[in-house]
Amino acid sequence: MRRHNRTALLRRLHVDGPCTRAALATELGLNRSTIKALVDGLASAGVVAERVPAQRSGAGRPSLLVLPQPHAAVVLAIDVRVEQVSMAMVGIGGEILGRHSWNLHRKSREPGEVITHIADSSQLLADELSVDVVGVGVSVPGVVRRADGQVHEAPNLQWTDVPLGKRLAAVLRKPVQVGNDAELGALAEHVRGAARGAADMVYVSADVGVGGGVISGGSPLRGTGGYVGELGHMVIRHDGRQCYCGSQGCWETEVGEPALCRALALPEGSPRGAVVAELRSLAEEPGDPAGVEHRLGDFTYWLSLGLVNVVNMLGPELVVLGDLFASLPTEVVERASATVHQRSLVSRAVGGTRIVISTLGRDAKLIGAAELAFEPVLGTV
């Protein structure tokens, strides 16, 4: 019971930040003597500290704030994308202590090359920051078995049956957790982003492909073997383009990065920066909703249709759009929201599912990887 209470207290501080002992007692349903014993124990171990708040209210002795100490437990978060790998050292409380990234090309996407670069770069970053990593979380754009970090298939990386979790654990000599990128994006938005406080939400992101992560009843939704969230391969157009998965008319063939390039009259495979810049330019054109409709009308239609299906199937109170979708003009998001409300029976039943842009931006999956690594760590600090 003591370990359970200690973990609950530390998680409260990790997720929601500094808090007084009195507030901790109220929120966790524990008496003050128990809270005192827990805080004193964590403070003596250097995991938390107490200080007088910067702003005092009322007379008398001020209540001390209990703060997590970021360096007390540090995890390595890794976000493997099609074109880039990002990593960060993250301390308790979610503070990013340092980061590093590098671009991927065809040869450098080989699993062995990626693993070697991760091992070398993580050691350099740890030495630079003088930290000792206690766990590792990895985000991958593919079908991942959560039990052991086996990447069954990551088509845009051209990976098949890669034991990423085991291989990384062997070279890093730390516990490694691997998750699907969109699932970890959902986790990040739920814990630290636009979906804080939402018990039921869906995170939909567009990179080269389209993925989804689901929070149901406050917990991640996972399918058999941990495989869930391949929303991009929901078939929405019977006469659509051939998809690499072997099907035809998948959602991502109509709203993924190549489709967005086509809609913007850019060559497929254009640099990500060029796509984002074009979207921002379109969004900043004053008073020209007709221009957005002309160029992105068909794209908006297929985006909206897919979202209607997602909402009808999963019934979330909130949908968060991430990655490239976060750069879409406001008119596109508003049109999609209106269509979902009009055409989704579930959305009308719950009072209108909200569709919002990610507040974490490109860091969402990196932050999600950190939270994945912290899940087993908080109970052992």
Domains recognised in the chain with CATH numbers: 2-68 (1.10.10.10), 72-184+364-377 (3.30.420.40), 196-359 (3.30.420.40)
| Least confidently predicted of 51-65, 78-92, 173-187 | 51-65
Whether the CB-CB separation of 79 and 139 falls below 8 Å is answered with: yes
pLDDT of residue 56: 61
pLDDT of residue 226: 64
**Quick one: average pLDDT of 199-215?**
92
- Rounded to an integer, what distance in angstroms lies between the CA atom of residue 331 and that of residue 343? 18
pLDDT of 249 over the 90 cut: yes
pLDDT of 59 over the 60 cut: no
Whether the CB-CB separation of 231 and 212 falls below 8 Å is answered with: yes
pLDDT of 273 over the 70 cut: yes
**Quick one: average pLDDT of 56-73?**
80
**Quick one: average pLDDT of 284-288?**
66
pLDDT tens-place string over residues 74-108: 999 999 998 899 999 999 999 999 999 999 987 77
pLDDT tens-place string over residues 334-347: 999 999 999 998 88
pLDDT of 153 over the 60 cut: yes
**Quick one: average pLDDT of 358-376?**
95
pLDDT of 254 over the 80 cut: yes
Share of the chain above pLDDT 90, in %: 75
> Over 329-348, what HEC string results?
CHHHHHHHHHHHHHHCHHHH
355 falls in which pLDDT band (50, 70, 90)? very high
pLDDT of 229 over the 60 cut: yes
Smallest CA-to-CA distance from 272 within 292, 256, 251 is with: 256
pLDDT of 60 over the 60 cut: no
For every residue of 110-178, DSSP letters joined together read: SHHHHHHHHHHHHHHHHHHHT--EEEEEEEESSEEETTTTEEEEETTTTEEEEEHHHHHHHHH-S-EEE
